[in-house]
A and B are shown apart, each in its own frame.
Chain A
Amino acid sequence: MLKKKPQRKLPTPDISYSSLVGLPAVYLRGARKSFGENEVLHDISLTINRGEVLSIIGPSGAGKSTLLRCLTLLDSFDSGELSYDSIVVCKPRGSELDSRAKKDPNPETGEHTLDIQPAIYDRAAMQRARMRFGIVFQDYNLFPHMTVLQNVMDAPLVVQKRNPAEVEEQARKLLERLDLTEHADKVPCQLSGGQQQRVAIARALCMKPRVIFFDEATSALDPRLTDDMVKLIRSLAEEGMAVGLVTHEMGFARAASDRVCLLLDGRIVEEGTPEEVFDRPSDPRTRAFLASPTKE
């Protein structure tokens, strides 16, 4: 009945020209996002380079989750520019991505205005970008009806249409690395929270991403498991992965990251190495935030 559409094989990431010339793995400039009248992200710019761990920290309600949702294309920025390596996911209207702008310059100045123009998303680029990043959700969102191995292998097989033998080999290696080998044939509900989280990490890594985001990676972990998580994140970075952490746990951010962004009320108020941000903050708002007893 349904004729199968010939599907374009999605390319699996490899070392590209863009990474050799040093484009950041994640590039975000001038991003804004509002819900109705309420602007929750004001002019956010950030980059994550290969081999670098960036933490986005801040109190609840600062816009961390919204920022992560927009970065992972679960939601969209209203304006701004986002790219993964050379893949331009969205650009402001008026830039070369939007063909309308060519015919339609500003009637008074005859120029193409670039600032605070609505972001134009490129659907094909979005799908290619999804092959570049992985996300480990706060509550993991594993597929409960699949075994651990199926969870890890399904998207590489179904979405990336890769060779089953190759995918299984990679999946089993990842499970071994994450200390899950004996759980390969269990379903997620048979595992502890920490184990489920590691399955979610394996699922993300099996897509061979270049960027991996963690949403509140330590919220369900005891101190020992948090240490393991820091080690894992550092080793991923050493292998050249770009890592984005969204967290409100300062200790974890300090231990795991190369660079920290503090998000307060939808603005990045401080950015730097963990030492700079935590020990020598320059912005009075940062000092106030770090001093407040309820910095959760």
Chain B
Amino acid sequence: MEVSIMFQKLIEGYGISLDIFFVTLIGATLLAIPVALGRLSRIKPLAWLISIYISLMRGTPLMLQMFAVFFAPYYVFGITMGPGYMMVAVLASFVINYAAYFAEIYRSGIQSMPRGQYEAAKALGYSRSQTFFRIILPQVVKRILPAMGNEIVTLVKDTSLAFSIGVIEMFTTGKALVAREHTMIPFVIAAAIYWITCLIIEALLRRAEKKLAYYHD
């Protein structure tokens, strides 16, 4: 098989990898906001419940979580799902797993804000939500960007875990090509594509950080 055909097949798989990447990135970024706020909530049982969720997500392998979500309908509820459920299980487990990590980053950012910012806002009469969205959140974004960059780059590579429940993303394709063609070239191409993806993300993050560098506290 020609290298160009291998490349073409890998790119097809890459499309699925990107689907997993973007859905997880957007889903987890949003889901992590209520999770972080719940973790910081003054309602103790809620904060406690969410810290258990975060601990569980961080303390068990993502692959195991993915399998759990994948098999749960059958073994727990006795429902047989169609083949489309594979992707759903991947996306669901990725989003809930990454939301836990993101939420911890948000929390550290929120807690790093000096008390004086809250006090100034309070004295000026800002409501709690106005304070959060106008004063705290914009500053938190700047503070957490480096840590988020780390997680986002990790996410690019974690998409390959979907291989283990049979979603045909780029790594699955690469593995199949290697086995059939008896050559390492598909792995080399796949590695290059992962790397280039990460390089692009790093460049975007650098630009974002530069844009937010207009002030320091």
A interface vs B, CB < 8 Å?
Answer: 10, 72-74, 127, 130-131, 133-135, 137, 139, 141-145, 154-155, 158-160, 187-189, 203, 207
Chain A residue at minimal CB-CB distance from B141: A145
In the assembled complex, the Cα of A51 lies from the Cα of B27 at a distance in Å of 56
Question: Which of A134, A139, A141, A154 has the most B CB atoms < 10 Å from its CB?
Answer: A141
Task: Enumerate chain A residues within 8 angstroms of B124, measured Cβ to Cβ.
Answer: 130, 134, 155, 159, 203, 207
Which of A72, A74, A133, A189 contacts B217 (CB under 8 A)? Answer: A189
Whether B123 contacts A159 by the Cβ 8 Å rule is no
Whether B135 contacts A155 by the Cβ 8 Å rule is no
Flag the segment in B80-88, B112-120, B176-184, B197-205 that touches A.
Answer: B112-120
Indicate whether B77 reaches chain A with its CB closer than 8 angstroms: no
By secondary structure, the B interface counts as: helix
Whether B215 contacts A187 by the Cβ 8 Å rule is yes
23 contacts between A and B (CB under 8 A): A73-B122, A74-B119, A74-B122, A74-B123, A130-B122, A130-B124, A130-B125, A131-B125, A133-B123, A139-B116, A141-B114, A141-B116, A141-B120, A143-B135, A144-B139, A144-B216, A145-B139, A158-B130, A159-B125, A187-B215, A189-B217, A203-B124, A207-B125
Whether A155 contacts B125 by the Cβ 8 Å rule is yes
Query: What is the CB-to-nearest-CB distance from A155 to chain B, in angstroms, rounded to a whole number?
Result: 4
Task: Enumerate chain B residues within 8 angstroms of A72, measured Cβ to Cβ.
Answer: 123
Task: Enumerate chain A residues within 8 angstroms of B125, measured Cβ to Cβ.
Answer: 10, 127, 130-131, 155, 159-160, 207
Question: Which of A134, A144, A187 has the most B CB atoms < 10 Å from its CB?
Answer: A144
Query: What is the CB-to-nearest-CB distance from A247 to chain B, in angstroms, rounded to a whole number?
Result: 19
Indicate whether B132 reaches chain A with its CB closer than 8 angstroms: no
Query: What is the CB-to-nearest-CB distance from A68 to chain B, in angstroms, rounded to a whole number?
Result: 11
Query: What is the CB-to-nearest-CB distance from B141 to chain A, in angstroms, rounded to a whole number?
Result: 9
In the assembled complex, the Cα of A155 lies from the Cα of B130 at a distance in Å of 10
8 closest residue pairs by CB, A with B:
A141-B120, A141-B116, A155-B124, A187-B215, A130-B125, A159-B125, A144-B217, A145-B138
In the assembled complex, the Cα of A119 lies from the Cα of B50 at a distance in Å of 35
Those of B102-135 within 8 Å (CB) of chain A: 114, 116-117, 119-120, 122-127, 130, 134-135
Whether B120 contacts A143 by the Cβ 8 Å rule is yes
Which of A134, A143, A145, A158 contacts B123 (CB under 8 A)? Answer: A134
Which of A131, A139, A189 contacts B216 (CB under 8 A)? Answer: A189
Whether A73 contacts B215 by the Cβ 8 Å rule is no
In the assembled complex, the Cα of A139 lies from the Cα of B116 at a distance in Å of 8
Query: What is the CB-to-nearest-CB distance from B128 to chain A, in angstroms, rounded to a whole number?
Result: 12
Query: What is the CB-to-nearest-CB distance from A277 to chain B, in angstroms, rounded to a whole number?
Result: 28
Task: Enumerate chain B residues within 8 angstroms of A143, measured Cβ to Cβ.
Answer: 117, 120, 135
Chain A residue at minimal CB-CB distance from B212: A145
Indicate whether B214 reaches chain A with its CB closer than 8 angstroms: yes
Query: What is the CB-to-nearest-CB distance from A165 to chain B, in angstroms, rounded to a whole number?
Result: 21
Do A189 and B122 form a contact, CB below 8 Å, given A141-B117, A159-B130? no
Query: What is the CB-to-nearest-CB distance from B215 to chain A, in angstroms, rounded to a whole number?
Result: 4
Task: Enumerate chain A residues within 8 angstroms of B122, measured Cβ to Cβ.
Answer: 73-74, 130
Task: Enumerate chain B residues within 8 angstroms of A139, measured Cβ to Cβ.
Answer: 116
Indicate whether B157 reaches chain A with its CB closer than 8 angstroms: no
Whether A137 contacts B134 by the Cβ 8 Å rule is no
Task: Enumerate chain A residues within 8 angstroms of B117, measured Cβ to Cβ.
Answer: 141, 143
Whether B134 contacts A154 by the Cβ 8 Å rule is yes
Query: What is the CB-to-nearest-CB distance from A187 to chain B, in angstroms, rounded to a whole number?
Result: 4
Query: What is the CB-to-nearest-CB distance from A16 to chain B, in angstroms, rounded to a whole number?
Result: 18
Whether B123 contacts A73 by the Cβ 8 Å rule is yes
In the assembled complex, the Cα of A160 lies from the Cα of B120 at a distance in Å of 15
Query: What is the CB-to-nearest-CB distance from A219 to chain B, in angstroms, rounded to a whole number?
Result: 15
